[in-house]
A and B are shown apart, each in its own frame.
Chain A
């Protein structure tokens, strides 16, 4: 069974640009969550999508957005990039069954560098 895949693995952008990251969950998983990992702030929750609907949202500015498609694949978008957006962006998928403890499987991440 294929794991969670993220593309691209590495990305370099300049300030003011926008970027789109992609995540393909494990087959059969309906929940996709996104996290930002930085040395200073650690791992922070961005948002979760379940069956194409945003189910949870972290404390990030509106420049960070996401969506989920009918095949459960998800994208996140960051507009007007800032230097502080440089981070490892991790995607996690799970079955997402409401009210249950769903094991989350993480992808390898996309390393974004903003110059």
Chain B
């Protein structure tokens, strides 16, 4: 079946450090890929998405490129801020309906 695997956290970085959170997936066909972010006490917010191979999603300084050859969708940011501290989820949708399959989440803590 379809699945998503994320690097385990927590990830602790100093402000302005470079961030990479790895995400790989297993899916039949051509899924759409997403990164969601969850701040404490809140629901999930869509951070970025990519719907086909080689697409790059970007938002708020975060980027991720859909790599079909390596079945990956790694999240990167060049310079993190304390306000980026949250839990990040990689997800896929293979049916373009409401069913999202999530990775286990990666907690990011950014220290001043």
Interface residues of A, Cβ cutoff 8 Å to B:
4, 31-33, 35, 42-45, 48, 50, 55-56, 58, 90, 92, 94, 96, 98-109
Contact = CB atoms under 8 A, between A and B. Distances in A.
Contact of A56 (B42, B89, B98): B98
13 contacts: A31-B98, A35-B100, A43-B100, A45-B101, A50-B97, A55-B98, A56-B97, A56-B98, A56-B99, A96-B98, A103-B46, A106-B44, A108-B43
Interface string B71-112: 000000000000000000101010111111111110000000
Interface size classification for chain B: 20 to 34
B99 A48 contact: yes
Interface of B: 32, 36, 41-46, 49, 51, 89, 91, 93, 95-105
B43 A58 contact: no
Contacts of A99: 96
Contacts of A43: 89, 91, 100, 102, 105
A101 B49 contact: yes
Contacts of A50: 97-98
Contacts of B45: 106
A109 B97 CA distance: 20
Contacts of B96: 98-102
Contacts of A44: 102
Given A42-B102, A43-B102, A101-B51, A90 B44 contact: yes
Contacts of B95: 56
A90 to B, nearest CB: 6
